[in-house]
Amino acid sequence: MKNWASSCTKLEKKIAQRSEYLTKEWVAPVKTIESNVVPKPRSEWIEAEVFAAYSNKNARNALVTALSSTQFSHIQHIPNAKQAWDKLKVVHEGDDQVRTLKLQMVLAQFEELRMSETESISEFYGRVEIITNEAMSLGQPIDELLVV
């Protein structure tokens, strides 16, 4: 099982400074006029609002550059970096329930892992690494003492 997020190393480096916009949703600035909340004209944005909008745009652009055309089709109409990232996570990893099921399957694979008589140590270790990396990508690292 290949973890799609691990193939985004370049993406992670590119957006490291803007990564908060993948975890914190950017909201366009607003103001209140006579008890009505309306979008704030860009000419009235303060420096922090301009920076936040720019950072959201950069984070989303970094996402887009790392995607295939098929992947891009899932988020092409989503202007917010966090919403786009969340959509991609669901598309590639499933929701929390699916991830929990995947994790249970990976942990069961680990528990049942045995080296065959015809298998070299490096081949066996490769299988161990695949399973431990998958568990880590699903948010449950396997204790190194159990791996040894």
Query: What pLDDT is recorded for position 108?
Result: 93
3-state secondary structure (DSSP) of residue 85: helix
Q: Are residues 72 and 121 in the same domain?
A: no
pLDDT of residue 1 exceeding 50, the answer is no
- The domain in which residue 20 lies consists of 4-93
The H or E element spanning position 46 is none
Q: Rounded to whole angstroms, how far apart are CA atoms 115 and 53?
A: 53
pLDDT digits (tens, 9 = 90+) for 121-141: 999 989 999 999 888 888 888
pLDDT digits (tens, 9 = 90+) for 85-103: 889 888 877 777 888 888 8
Q: Are residues 24 and 85 in the same domain?
A: yes
Q: Are residues 68 and 140 in the same domain?
A: no
What's the pTM?
0.58
- Cross-strand bridge partners of residue 30: 39
Q: Are residues 71 and 104 in the same domain?
A: no
Domain count along the chain? 2
Collect all residues with Cβ–Cβ distance below 8 Å to 143 and sequence separation of at least 6. Answer: none
Q: Are residues 86 and 118 in the same domain?
A: no
Q: Are residues 36 and 86 in the same domain?
A: yes
Q: Are residues 19 and 78 in the same domain?
A: yes
Burial class of residue 56 in the structure, from the number of CB atoms within 10 Å of its CB (0-12 exposed, 13-18 middle, 19+ buried): buried
